[in-house]
Amino acid sequence: MDVALQAALVLFITFLIQLGIGIPISISIVISSLITALTTIPMDIALFTAAQKMVTGIDSFSLLAVPLFILSGNIMNNGGIARRLVNFAKVIGGRLPGSLAHANILGNMLFGSLSGSAVASAAAIGGTMTPIQKSEGYDVSYSAAVNISSSPTGMLIPPSGSLILYSLVAGGVSISALFIAGYVPGFLMGLATMVVAYIYAKKNNYPVSEKVSLLQGFRIFLEAIPSLMLIVVVIGGIVFGIFTATEGAGVAVIYTLVLSLIYRSIKWHDMKEILLKTGVTTGVIMFLVAASSAMSWIMAYTGIPQAISQGIMSISENPIIILLIMNITLLIVGTFMDLTPAILIFTPIFLPIATQIGLHPVHFGIILVFNLCIGIITPPVGSVLFVGCSVAEISIEEVIKPLLPFFAALIVVLLLVTYIPAISLLLPKLFGLI
């Protein structure tokens, strides 16, 4: 049997078996990689190099941005920033039918772009908006569907930890270019959910919020400015070369901490829990990065990516068909695997195919993350799905039906992003980043 085929079968079969019996993904990656290495690579090379790759995989200054952005998001989640953003979002979407649903979507876009976390956004914004929507007579399953479907916008609108991870795994694709490239797809994702929410609200005669006076609206805007300035300071600094993504993450931590202390919504004794939560999340991600680095080396050594590339190219050499195959595969992967491991595992497999058919690595990165954003709102493992249902206090079964129109709208946007490269690449080109 061909070495690449043998390695691929051993790797993926052992990995899927472990997932099926409930072994954590990071441990599954290590065990399946070890079994594959020992069965296809000389033992002395396999053990020494795999261990070395795990260490070098996390030995990166750029990777330091991930825990810092996580810390910034956790401070934000505890620092009263979500409430001010919700008030601002209510002013923007207040005159549309189902205005509270639009405020939820806009709130998720704003908070998600600041925290970089879909789960934090679903919990913070959903926790604020869902009770209000209930009191106004909104169907609770609809409210949950709105919150769940709009939360992942923060994974595309920078700063995004997922795009940083992709940049590192893809061999140093410009983080600045990825950040700028994520804006239009992220806004389209939010716009698509707003269109579905509008149609549903119009059909069910959901109310329009009371008109806000010009003075009151201006006051709410002023309250939101310090929070919104984080986007300008951090992303502007990164894009214009004032500081690196890692330094920008440090700036984000200091900015959010000072802002939360000024708001008096966070105390110094709260930092112990925030730091502990950040440490746990960072530990999980770093172990995943280390394990996936070893797996990536084993796949490269045995020629698995090349074998998969040849297999897909043998089906069709038409870029439209190949992109469709990759999208379907990633959507399926997203239903049972979270963003971080999926990015770490499938970037080295699909990126060579993408570049072979003429896709820019920045464009492919947006396609990859967009697919996985849809994955985290779908059963059975969708983390945002679970958080959104928990916040709304309903079962997953109750939210699936109202979630389907939002899911369909996101698929339409995904296809547009996939087949119209300018949606992702126009802004990076205008800024001279690619």
CB-based burial label for 45 (10 Å; 0-12, 13-18, 19+): exposed
**pLDDT for the residue 381:** 65
**pLDDT for the residue 3:** 80
Question: What are 80-133's pLDDT values in tens digits?
Answer: 676 777 777 777 766 677 788 888 888 888 877 777 778 778 887 887 788 878
- Report the range out of 56-60, 331-335, 361-365 with the highest average pLDDT: 361-365
Name the more confident of 411 and 257.
411
Question: What are 6-56's pLDDT values in tens digits?
Answer: 888 888 899 889 888 888 888 888 899 888 888 888 877 777 888 888 888
Say if CB 337 and CB 25 are below 8 A apart: yes
b/e map 323-343, b = 16+ CB within 10 Å: beebbebbbebbebbbbbbbb
For tokens 């599954």, the residue is: 28
Distance CA 204, CA 98 (A): 9
Question: What are 374-432's pLDDT values in tens digits?
Answer: 988 887 667 788 888 888 888 888 898 999 999 999 999 999 999 999 999 999 999 88
Q: pLDDT grade, residue 69 (50/70/90)?
A: confident
Distance CA 314, CA 319 (A): 12
